[in-house]
Structure 1
Amino acid sequence: METELGLKPGEIGLGTTLVAVGFDGGVIIGADSRTSMGGAYVVNRVTDKLTYVSDRIYCCRSGSAADTQAVANLVTYYLQLYAIQHGEEPPVRVAAALFQELCYKNKEMLSAGIICAGWDKYAGGSVYGIPIGGSLHKLPYATAGSGSTYLYGYLDTAFRPNMTKEETIELVKTAIALAIGRDGSSGGCIRLAVITEDGVERHFIPGDQVPVLGI
C-alpha cells in the first residue's frame, strides 16, 4: 500500500510547499520546513529543503526525501566536474537538464519533484520546474509540493515581471505562509534564498513569526 505521495508506509517524504520566483537581478527560492513519515507523523519540523548544487544554483525538493537527496547529490557531483572541465561555473540550464535526465530515466523508481533555480552570466536568473515524471519547464516562477495546489491563483495574480528584490521576497514569503495555513503537510518555519550575481543570501523566518494567513 502507498500513501497519497506514492510512498510506502513509514517512508520519509517531503509533503511540502516550494516556491521559486525570478526577479530583476536573480531568483528567490523558498520552502517550508516540515518533513513527514507515512503521511501522518512529522519527523522533522525544521528541515532545510533549499539544497545547494553549485555556488549560484540551488534546488527545492518534493517527494521522497531519500530519492530527491540522491538525485541532488549526483547533480552536484556532475556540476563540479563541469566546473573543472570548463573552467567556469555551470549555467542553470545545465543543472536543470541533469535533473531532468536523471528523473526521467528513472521515473519508474523515483518519487522526485524538483525546482532548479539560480543565476549565471549567460541567462541571469532562471527558474526550471522538473515535476514527478521528469519533464522540464523553464518558467518565470514555479511552485511544487502538496501546498502548491493552494498557490496557483495567488501567484498568477500577484506575480509581475521585473519585480524588485524586496517585492519578490515578500511574494515568496506570503505564498508559503498561505500554504502553511491550508496544507496539513506544510508547516514549521520558512527558509528563503536570494540568488544573484553577488552570491546567495539566506533568510530565516521562525515558526512564531510566520504570518497567519488563509485561516
Structure 2
Amino acid sequence: MSRFNPYNDNGGTVVAVAQGSRVVIGGDTRISNGYNILSRNYNKVTQLTSTTFIATSGQVTDAQTLHKLLLAKVALYKHQHGNEPSLRALSKLLCVTLYSRRFFPYYTFNLLCGVDDDGQGKVFGYDAIGSFDELKYGAQGSGQQLSMSILDNQMKGTNRTDSYSFNSDPVGLVKDVFNAVAERDIYTGDHVLIWDVSPQGINQSTFRLRSD
C-alpha cells in the first residue's frame, strides 16, 4: 500500500527581472496534474501592495493559502500603522511565515518582487521553508532550469565570448524566456501575464504561448 502524499506540484513557471528602478514579473497561466491540464487561466502572481508582488509556483492550494495569509497580514499592518509595509519588511515577513511551517511546509517556491524605498527594483527568491536571497533576476517552477540558463546568458553574459552588458527591454526578455520554456516544458503554456512595476506605475499585459 502506498503512503498518502499531501503534496502535488502543479507545474508552471514564474520569472522576475530587476533593472534599475523597474522590476518585471511574469507567470504563465497553466496548472497541471501529471499529463492533465487543470486550468489554462490560473494567475500565479498576486499584488500585495502598490509596488510589491509575489509570484509562486508549486502546489496551487498552498499557494492560494499563502497569498491569502499575506494579504490579510498586509491589510492588518495598514490598519495598525496607516501605511503599507515596505518591500524589505515583506521579505522578512514571508521568510518567517514560511519558516514557521517548516515541519509541514507550504509546497511553494516564491519570488517576492517590487520597488523598494529607494526606488530600486528588487527580486527575492525563496525555497519552501523560507531561506531567501536578494537577486537581480530569478525563476521558479517547472521551467526554472531552462529559464535560468537564458537569464544567465542575457543578464550576466554567461557562455558568451563577446563583451556584453544587458541594456534591452526586460519585458521583451521575459517574453522570450517564456516562449522558449513553453517549447520544451509541457507544464508551462497557454498565456503569460506580465507586470512591469516602477515608481511611475504598473503596466500589465498578456501574451499568448503555445497551448498544446
The TM tier, using the shorter chain, reads 0.7 to 0.9
Name the counterpart of 2:174. Answer: 172
Name the counterpart of 2:89. Answer: 94
Larger CA Rg, structure 1 vs 2: 2
- 1:80 and 1:112 map into 2 onto residues whose CA distance is 22
Shift of the alpha carbon at 1:96? 1.8
Pairing of 1:133-212 with structure 2 (within 5 A): 133-159=129-155, 167-207=169-209
Name the counterpart of 2:67. Answer: 72
Name the counterpart of 1:85. Answer: 80
Describe the superposition over 1:177-206 as per-residue Cα deviations: whole angstroms up to 9, x where unpaired.
Answer: 111111111111111001111232101012
1:127 equivalent in alignment to 2:129: no
**Structure 2, unpaired ranges of 5+:** 157-163
Change in Cα spacing, 1:176 to 1:125, as seen in structure 2 (3 Å) is same
For the 8 Å contact 1:91–1:122, the answer to whether it is kept is no
Change in Cα spacing, 1:107 to 1:63, as seen in structure 2 (3 Å) is farther
Q: CA RMSD in A?
A: 2.4
Change in Cα spacing, 1:14 to 1:60, as seen in structure 2 (3 Å) is farther
TM score, norm. by length of structure 1 = 0.84
- 2:166 and 2:88 map into 1 onto residues whose CA distance is 22
- 2:6 and 2:195 map into 1 onto residues whose CA distance is 28
Which residue, out of 12, 18, 38, partners 1:16? 12
- 1:87 and 1:22 map into 2 onto residues whose CA distance is 28
- 1:119 and 1:198 map into 2 onto residues whose CA distance is 11
- 1:102 and 1:162 map into 2 onto residues whose CA distance is 37
% identical aligned pairs: 25
Shift of the alpha carbon at 1:45? 0.9
- 1:20 and 1:70 map into 2 onto residues whose CA distance is 22
- Whichever residue aligns with residue 69 of structure 2, its letter is L
**Structure 1, unpaired ranges of 5+:** 211-215
- 1:162 and 1:96 map into 2 onto residues whose CA distance is 28
Describe the superposition over 1:27-48 as per-residue Cα deviations: whole angstroms up to 9, x where unpaired.
Answer: 00001111112x2210101211
